[in-house]
Amino acid sequence: MLSIRSPTTQLLLRTCSYYYSTTASSAAVEAERTIREGPRNDWTRQQIKSIYDSPVLDLLFHGAQVHRYAHNVREVQQCTLLSIKTGGCSEDCSYCPQSSRHHTGLKAQKLMTKEAVIQAAKQAKEAGSTRFCMGAAWRDTVGRKTNFNQILEYVKEIRDMGMEVCCTLGMLEKQQALELKKAGLTAYNHNLDTSREYYPNIITTRTYDERLETLQHVREAGINVCSGGIIGLGEAAEDRVGLLHTLATLPAHPESVPINALLAVKGTPLQDQKPVEIWEMIRMIATARMVMPKSMVRLSAGRVRFSMPEQALCFLAGANSIFTGDKLLTTPNNDFDADQLMFKILGLIPKAPSFSEEEAKTCEAENCEEALSSSG
């Protein structure tokens, strides 16, 4: 047996170390660094590209390593997304069936009533969701004071149910973000969609900087930022890297990063785009996990196209959040029973809602009071 201090052993160790340093993929190197040093916001685009271009099996393995370092690997957040104001949007987003500029057969509807929204939130909670997300097909909320005030009431009531609450209402002004925070909003979703360079090919009615400005208002109001993008828009790998680079170099990483696979809808300019392959999702999810280790990485729209084994690979790569319910705004989503079966087979457990210490104490007091009143 060789002694660890023997010259032969030392030479062997140096040789192995040199071999590892010269043959290890960028995914291996950067995962090790992330685990050692923690989250950082100074990523270069080339560093992220090198991770993204690593072999898929390396991405799977090292994405899983970082995931286990930063999270309870069995926990998966369950969110429900409801379209509370559908269709008639003035934007020209090429992927969206809710744009009034596209002929998708979708009819514009008014804002849902409070009773209908609260009922949907209660059903979502009963089904296991801990975050309830409300989406409105608007460019922004300017000039919608009555509707905006109604939504503030929705937020307050759903928050009082012990659920996290998220909204996606288009662009926000600073004051509106503060009002949403006061109402108890947990997170605000505003996706960047793609890279700055490819963005004009997808949307012309809102600039990239306007999106970043909304994220700034949300962040400064103390609301969690939820921001990600869509793959399968016709973009190149470089654009996917660009999207992740923008997100990973924000002043603070988004609390949630949704990774969407385009579901091409007939009547939209992108109706003929080919479906996203599972390996493309794995590259995005694993890279996002390594460069934003503490973020919730959401396996979002398009999940309905992936089998249970394919979804398992996404969870292994670092995804730890999904949308539940049979519809995402206006597009199909996975069946509730199928998700329940998947959780059971894969050994996944629902992630509990996360509140600040002050909010948690309030919830605990409310729960105790409720328990006492019901027992009396």
Which of the residues 89, 131, 211, 314 is marked catalytic?
89
CA 287 to centroid of chain Cα atoms:
14
Find out whether 223 and 185 touch, Cβ atoms under 8 Å.
Answer: yes
Catalytic residue among 159, 211, 298, 303: 298
Extended strands (E) in the chain: 75-85, 131-136, 164-168, 187-189, 224-226, 229-231, 256-261, 296-299, 321-324, 327-328, 331-332, 349-350
The b/e string for 293-322 (b: 16+ C-beta within 10 A; e otherwise) is bebbbbbbbbbbbbeeeebbbbbbbbbbbb
Q: Which of 52, 315, 352, 355 is nearest to 187 (CA)?
A: 355
**CA distances, 196 to each of 96, 137, 185, 286 (Å):** 19, 22, 28, 21
DSSP assignment of 112-163, as one string? PPHHHHHHHHHHHHHTT-SEEEEEE--SB-TT-HHHHHHHHHHHHHHHHTT-
Residue 226's DSSP bridge partners are 189, 256
C-alpha span between 52 and 233 (Å, rounded): 18
The active-site residue out of 79, 131, 133, 206 is: 133
Q: Which of 166, 219, 283, 314 is catalytic?
A: 166
Residue among 79, 93, 167, 314 flagged as catalytic: 93
Bridge partners of residue 331, in order along the sequence? 328
- For residue 141, how many other CB atoms are within 10 A of its CB? 20
Tell me whether residue 314 is one of the annotated catalytic residues. Answer: no
CA distances from 272 to 6, 143, 262, 275 (A): 65, 36, 11, 9
Question: Is residue 133 annotated as a catalytic residue, yes or no?
Answer: yes
Question: Would residue 166 show up in a list of annotated catalytic residues for this protein?
Answer: yes
101 is catalytic: no
Q: Which of 96, 167, 240, 303 is catalytic?
A: 96
Between CA 341 and CA 370 the distance in angstroms is 32
Catalytic residue check, 368: no
Strand partners, 256: 226, 296
Say whether 298 is catalytic: yes
* Catalytic one of 79, 167, 226, 314: 226
Active site residues: 89, 93, 96, 133, 166, 226, 298
